[in-house]
Amino acid sequence: MRISKLTNALLITTNLLLSSIVFADEIKFHEWTHETTKKFSKAMTKNEAGSEFGIICADKCFYYINSGTVCTSNNQYLVMMSTEYFATTLKMNCVLRENNYFQILDNFDVVKKTIAKGNNISFVTSLDNGIISASFFGLKGAYSASNKTISDAIKNKYPTPKMQDN
């Protein structure tokens, strides 16, 4: 089943992310920060509320949101993603890892194309019990940081960095 493959890949990726203590030097791309370790490559930005939006590549590449919002692990939710030029609905999968909820966005290519344009991006979703979650992030440097993350994953020969299955 696709969700369980996605969840398993995400659990491995987030485990690498959360268990790795030593990071290489960080590279700033305007509002975004890129870092590469021996186990993964990551680029992300944080908003004023402390929510995080980024991309991580280990065995696969994923765009994710970590907003601190509680969701039901392994559940899928619809999320509206919008910039000043484009809006669409995506699915996201909720994964709980070490007391952190990660919302993994599907349709990698649509997210990558969307961050290439615009100055800001927002995500709005309805979670369990009618809770509405809205997160807003800056995109200045996002496309370059994402490309660096993907190229470092390939250069460092992580286990075949593939884009997320759609």
Among the residue ranges 66-75, 77-86, 105-114, the one predicted with the least confidence is 66-75
Residue 23, pLDDT score: 47
Q: What is the DSSP letter of 165?
A: P
* C-beta separation of 112 from 24 below 8 A: no
pTM of this structure: 0.79
Print the domain residue range for 123.
2-163
Q: What is the pLDDT of residue 68?
A: 79
What DSSP line would sit under 57-84, residue for residue? ESSEEEEEEE-S----TT-EEEEEEE-S
CA distance 137 to 119: 9
Q: Is pLDDT above 60 for 3? A: no
> How many domains does the chain divide into?
1
**Residue 163 CA to chain centroid, in angstroms?**
12
What is the tens place of the pLDDT at every residue in 72-95? 888 999 999 999 999 999 999 998
What is d(CA 111, CA 6) in angstroms, rounded to the nearest whole number?
17
Output the pLDDT for position 99: 82
- CATH number, domain of 152, equals 2.60.40.1880
